[in-house]
Amino acid sequence: MLLTSSSSVDAHDAQNNDEVISFQSYNFSDRYIRHRNFLGYLEPISDELGRKDATYKLVPGLANSKCSSFESVNFPGHFLRHENFRLKLGRRINQALFMEDATFCTKTRLFGDNTSSRSFESLNFPGHYIRHKNFELWIDPSDGSDLFRKDATFSITTPLYP
C-alpha cells in the first residue's frame, strides 16, 4: 500500500507509481465510492460497469503534489472533484479552480483502527471531508459526531477493475 498511517499523509512519493485503487466505505462495507452519470455515489458493486466506475488511479494532486487526485480508469482524463460541495466526475481543465476542486489531502482515518483506512480533506475547503450522506458523495465540514467520522472514512482496497 502506498499510503502510510501518519496523521497527515504525504502521498507524493507514493503516487509516482499512479497506483490503481478502490475506496470501500467504513460503515457500509458492501459499498464503494463510484461515479454514475458523472456524480459520486456510495453503492454496492455487482457488474463490470460498476467495477470500472469504482476504480481510480491515485495521482499527485492536480493543485498540490503533496495531496492526491483520483482519476477515473474508465474515463481517462476525468477526475473526482467537488462542485457546490457535491462530488462529481469532471474532465480535467487547466484552470486553478478545477485543479483545487479535484485535490484532496489524505488524512489518517477519522474513525476506526483499520490501518488501510483514510479520510480525504478538500484542498480548497480545509476542514471539509469527502463523506457520504444518503449514499451520495459530498464534501462537508465535520460536526464532530461518530456518524460523520464513519461516513468520512474509507478503506483503500485493491482495484475492483480489472
Domain residue limits, the chain: 12-157
Q: Which fold has domain 12-157?
A: Trefoil (Acidic Fibroblast Growth Factor, subunit A) (2.80.10)
**pLDDT tens digits in sequence order for the chain, 162 residues long:** 334 333 334 443 344 458 999 999 999 999 999 999 999 999 999 999 999 999 999 999 999 999 999 999 999 999 999 999 999 999 999 999 999 999 999 998 888 787 779 999 999 999 999 999 999 999 999 999 999 999 999 999 999 999
The verdict on pTM exceeding 0.75 is yes
Number of helical H runs and strand E runs in the chain? 4, 12
* Whole-angstrom distance, CA of residue 93 vs CA of residue 133: 28
Residue with cell 507514493: 14
* Whole-angstrom distance, CA of residue 150 vs CA of residue 147: 5
